[in-house]
Structure 1
Amino acid sequence: VTFPLVLAVIVTVMGSTFQYGYNIAVVNAPAPVNYCFNFAVVEVTTLSDSDLILWSFTVSIYTVGGMIGSFSTGFFVKKFGRYVGYLIQKGALLVSNSLSIVGAILMGTSKAANSLEMIIIARFLLGIFAGLATGVVPLYLGEISPKAIRGALGVISQLSITIGILTAQLLSLKEVLGTAELWPILLAFTGVPSAMQLCVLPFLPESPRCLLIDRDREDLARKALIKFRGTSDVAVEIREMRHEAEAQASTDQLSVLEVLKDQSVRWQIISIAFIQFTQQMCGINAIFFYLNTIFEAAGVAGDTQNYASVGVGTVNVFMTVISVLLMDRLGRKILLAGGYAIAGVFCIVMTISLNLQDQISWISNLSIASVIGFIIGFALSPVPWILTAELFRQSSRPAASSIGCGVNWTFNFALALVFPFMQKGMGPYVFLFFLCICAIATAYVVIIIPETKGKTFQEINNMFVKRNKVKEPEMM
């Protein structure tokens, strides 16, 4: 662990995936929704149906932009590289971060312009930026990390999302920026991390793997690796990269369509798509949708429900930190399967407590405990983003990232649209649906997903050779 490596990780995630979490949570705060309509203080419950639909569109347009950005990841990575270094010269980094900065300016000035449309456009641009970030950042972190701590550093991306959510919850408190006068600053804060990233990233090295394998520049790869490792003894890693390059010497970097047709990565693609699907559909968003209802049933006053949400966000961050510490000790498989299993158990408890909360006075406390327990399970399994970077060779990794992130954002959007109808039709029994998702995901991980801890990218790829019914590549 060296200073350049730590700096690269912190600046990359804080300027990218941090904003993903921040912009998910910030519009759920009372201030923006209370003040965006006619820019006067109103209660959300007094909004007309048309205004509620408009606000729902304002929130969900973020995921539409995310789908576009995530599916564009493969193109940007193939054309410009892994997000840093010389990218500033070609303008890719500037364009990417400019989406965030322009969005921040639009939201920060929306009140003065009396324009909700500016917020809608801003959230669409921020969604594209976040979609690119969730695809590119795990790739970059996976490629610059030493093998022994690749899992831990990979989880930093998920950790920064939870920190972004918690930051939005804290800044949304009425004692900070959650007021009629300051809410534009609350929304515009998202531009600050982008500005920080633009100032620092141009001075950090490009991905050594990208330089050697994709661009055949071993000299630059060696320099980048020496800087990241803090030692000139990088021969082992250079040799491993050469082996991977030789194994795919006749293969150019693949497009999304080519990866989908490639039999040698068929089960990797199925696994990534499935895990990203279950991460969204396991019920984590439903838990957050239910927060206010659960807190209200537990007797938490309306004025203090925001503080309770901050408490939930704090648990989320804390448990993600724990997963960082455990990732390279216990491995990916046990955390992912165990996390889904824990979440499934608390789906059962949640269903029972919500059904009985009108009959037993103290049962609402069990509902709160169920929320915390579910979040613990979910936070312990931030593995999908790591697996997206680990299960593929260099030639197919960017396109696979596009597919995985695209699936994640697509079902994020789908659940946001469908969940209110599920909640209305199924009531508290909606969590039985999420229980089924968690159970299926647990079984799939146990049966199909191999343990990737401590393995090289080529070794991981070879684990799928038999299942994909292809020949193991020969080393030259």
Structure 2
Amino acid sequence: MGSFTFGYSIAVINSPETIVENFINETVIQRTGVPILASHLRSYWSLIVAIFAIGGMIGGLSAGAWADFFGRKKGMLLNNAIGIAGSMLIGFSKMGSSFEMIIVGRVILGFNCGLTTCLTPMYLSEIAPANIRGALGVVHQLAITIGILMSQIFGFQEILGTKSLWPVLLGLPLAPCIIQLLMLPLCPESPRFLLITKHQETEARAALVTLRGKFDVDLDIEDMKSEQRMCQAEPKISIAQLIVKSSLRKQLVIGIVMQISQQSCGILAILYYSHSLFVSAGMLPNVATHAVSGIGAVMVVMTFISIPLMEYVGRRTLHLTGLMGMFVLSIVMTLALTLNGTVKGMQTVGAITVIFYVAAFSIGPGSIPWLIVAELFPQGSRAPAMSICTMINWLSNFINGFTFPYVQKGLDDLSFVPFTILLLLFWGFTYMYLPETKDKTIEQITDMFRQQQQEKQSKTDGVAKENSYLVGFKKM
């Protein structure tokens, strides 16, 4: 339910854009007697959209310490209280005649979702066996896409996208927070957290029995103990220690670039501003609102499809395929926007391109970055790594969400060109550096990186030794 809240909160701000802007203008008129300047209104709206990511950054950066202190399960339980507080502030903003309540509520809700985007993938990766870890990890993204779709449907003018009901539309994350608060106590704590972090083997074994539905969990326990021995040899580290630790630097850079690729691939321009993009392409506002829901439906369907593909094709191949598809489609999008006024049918081409763009995102960059970070790091460094990468994800979210209206105004029909360039760079990085983690245990993935580090060190030592011989020869 936390992932659902995240997806809903990202996309819900799209459809009621005009209604909320009118509310801001009316509020300013009540206070000052004069309408708000158009430039100030655009800045306020961009802030409402993007401030969600500021809360997300803070929540993401805090998530590792939060997860280790409270535990995965209890951490998610406590997080629901934060989501309830943010939702209520937004829901009562119209009654309080205060658009500032929307801004503060979005920050608090962002903090809630920042914790969620770290805690949920971490929990799922730790409870899943290796053979279904990828598929189960996609459940997080699937819940996000369902939240996006539901926010778009509820945003119809026939439902909650009206002048009187928009506070209910924006404050609806209250419901999934309450549901999760009631249902999560039925789930077990992460057995990896219990055994490796808390050293509670009996409790970990009981959690595994509940999760696997069988009493013979010795293989799982042995796998965790093997990782525990590895963690004891390489103890738990802080965020600062992780940043300077050379043996984990490659994994950290891969994790960071994966998160940036998810948020800087152009998908936020579609999720946050697709309604205005469709209107500028010639659609009527009501038609644009319904067209936006098609985006959410495609995301749900393609994420469902990616669940079996995750274990059959692999993370690396899916991510590369998604990035290349988006690269090609971003070029088509630019052509459709540029030729819209001169070539007949470009409006239809643009709308179809958006649908395929979202489909390409859903099979790769949509879900894999969340999963891959949890797989790349051992238990002792997983929490701080998830914190750093989640913070980077939200920072990218904020930068892209806040700047795109200005990019769109400055570049007009060429506003997707920056994404085209970035997608090509992301594809090249992924091709060169991201290993395949399908069907590998956390221990095997860690060993793979350790061997690469040792081979690199051996080559460096060999070059240094050769140079020392040359220096000695020259002295002779």
CA apart distance, 1:356 = 1.4
User: SS where residue 405 of structure 1 aligns?
Assistant: helix
Contact kept? 2:52, 2:110, Cα under 8 Å? yes
Question: Relative to structure 2, which stretch is displaced further, 304-313 or 282-291?
Answer: 282-291
- Looking at structure 2, the residues matched to 293 and 52 of structure 1 have their Cα atoms a distance apart, in angstroms, of 13
> For the residues of structure 1 that align with 2:110 and 2:358, how far apart are their CA atoms?
24
- 1:36 shift after superposition: 4.7
Q: Which runs of 5+ in 2 are unaligned?
A: 30-34, 458-476
The superposition leaves residues 262-304 of structure 1 with CA deviations (integer Å, 9 ceiling, x where unpaired) of: 2221110000001111111111112345634553365432222
Which residue in 2 is equivalent to 1:52?
A: 42
Partner Cα distance (1:75, 1:306) in 2? 40
Matched, 1:373 2:359: no
What corresponds to 1:274 in structure 2?
Answer: 257
Please provide the CA RMSD for this pair.
2.2
Indicate the residue corresponding to 1:263 in structure 2.
246
Offset of residue 431 of structure 1: 2.2
1:428 partner amino acid:
D
Q: Deviations over 1:200-238 (max 9, x none)?
A: 212321101111111111111111001000011211111
Q: How does 1:178-257 map to 2 (within 5 A)?
A: 178-257=161-240
Aligned-partner residue type, residue 85 of structure 2: V
Matched, 1:78 2:68: yes
Is 1:459 the counterpart of 2:444 in the alignment?
A: yes
CA separation in 2, counterparts of 1:335 and 1:148?
17
Contact 1:212–1:221 (Cα < 8 Å) also in 2: yes
Whole-Å separation in 2 of the counterparts to 1:309 and 1:104: 23
The equivalent position to 1:399 in structure 2, one of 381, 384, 397, is 384
Q: Confirm whether residue 61 of structure 1 aligns to residue 51 of structure 2.
A: yes
Is the alpha carbon distance of 1:113 and 1:417 closer, same or farther for their aligned partners in structure 2, counting shifts above 3 Å? closer
Matched AA of 2:352: A
Task: Say if 2:237 and 2:384, in contact at 8 Å, map to a contact too.
Answer: yes
What is the 5 A alignment of 1:31-46? 31-38=19-26
Matched with 2:468 is: none
Q: CA deviation at 1:249?
A: 1.4
Give the secondary-structure state (helix, strand or coil) at the position aligned to 2:353: helix
- The answer to whether the Cα contact below 8 Å between 1:226 and 1:232 also exists between their aligned partners in 2 is yes
2:407–2:415 Cα contact (<8 Å) kept: yes
Q: 1:431 to 1:113 in 2, by over 3 A?
A: closer
- Give the Cα–Cα distance (whole angstroms) in 2 for the partners of residues 110 and 156 of structure 1: 33
Inter-partner Cα distance in structure 1 for 2:277 and 2:291: 11
Whether 2:431 is the aligned partner of 1:431: answer: no
Alpha carbons 2:51, 2:103 under 8 Å: kept: yes
Match of residue 422, structure 1, among 407, 411, 422: 407
Counterpart secondary structure, 1:277: helix
Amino acid at match of 1:198: L
Q: Which moved more, 1:378-387 or 1:200-209?
A: 200-209
Of stretches 264-273 and 299-308 in structure 1, the one that deviates more from structure 2 is 299-308
Is 1:321 the counterpart of 2:304? The answer is: yes
Give 1:174's match in structure 2, choosing from 150, 157, 169. 157
| 1:449 and 2:434 matched | yes
Within a 5 Å distance, the mapping from 1:336-375 to structure 2 comes to: 336-375=319-358
CA distance in 1, matches of 2:298, 2:193: 36
C-alpha deviation, 1:429, in angstroms: 2.7
TM-score normalised to the size of structure 2?
0.89
**How far apart, CA to CA, are the structure 1 residues paired with 2:401 and 2:362?**
20
Match of 2:132 among 134, 137, 149: 149
Contact 2:319 2:363 in 1 (8 A): yes
Identity %: 39
Give the C-alpha shift of residue 22 in structure 1: 1.0
Q: Aligned partners of 1:417, 1:120: CA distance in 2, in Å?
A: 14
What's the TM-score once normalised by structure 1's chain length?
Answer: 0.89
8 Å contact kept, 1:37–1:116? no
Cα gap change, 1:289 to 1:184, in 2 (>3 Å): closer
Question: What is the deviation of 1:252?
Answer: 3.3
* Structure 1 residues 353 and 48: alpha-carbon distance in aligned structure 2, compared to 1, 3 A threshold: closer
Comparing 51-60 and 339-348, the one that deviates more: 51-60
Q: Distance in 2 between matches of 1:394 and 1:169?
A: 38
**Offset at 1:466?**
3.6
SS of match in other structure, 1:112: coil
SS across alignment from 2:380: coil
What amino acid does structure 1 have at the position aligned with 2:185? P
Structure 2 CA distance for partners of 1:118 and 1:470, relative to 1, 3 Å = farther
State the AA in 1 paired with 2:403. Answer: V
AA at the equivalent of 1:370: T
Shift of 1:146: 1.9
1:36 and 1:187 mapped to 2: Cα distance?
15
